[in-house]
């Protein structure tokens, strides 16, 4: 039986560790200061966790679009995704 294993490269491990740290941080923040729903520029009332999920999902789509539609370095796509995350978390 031949099992295929995921290749854990440094960038892959860093990505998943970063997501885990963000989730732990958000959990601690929620315990210390419970969130209240608010309405921002998004067309629905959201909590911090909702905005984090929407921001991460949007960042994934930005990266996929950048890789698929651009020949420029991925770091530009990363910068755009980071700005998206900040905007959604702050004003979303």
The DSSP annotation for 29-50 comes to HHHHS----B--SSSS-B-HHH
SS3 content of the chain, % helix, strand, coil (to 5): 70, 0, 30
Whether the predicted pLDDT of 1 surpasses 60: no
Under the banding of pLDDT at 50, 70 and 90, the label for residue 92 is: confident
Distance CA 46, CA 56 (A): 14
Paired tokens of 11: 């960038």
Whether the predicted pLDDT of 16 surpasses 90: no
How much is the pLDDT for 59?
92
Q: Which helix (H) or strand (E) holds 8?
A: none
Whether the predicted pLDDT of 36 surpasses 60: yes
- The pTM for the full model equals 0.78
């Amino acid at each position: 039986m031949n099992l295929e294993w995921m290749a854990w490269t440094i960038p892959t491990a860093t990505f998943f560790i970063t997501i885990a740290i963000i989730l732990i941080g958000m959990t601690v923040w929620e315990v210390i200061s419970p969130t209240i729903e608010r309405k921002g520029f998004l067309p629905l009332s959201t909590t911090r966790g909702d905005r984090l999920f929407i921001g991460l999902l949007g960042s994934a789509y930005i990266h996929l679009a950048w890789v698929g539609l651009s020949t420029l370095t991925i770091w530009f796509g990363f910068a755009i995704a980071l700005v998206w995350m900040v905007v959604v978390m702050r004003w979303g």
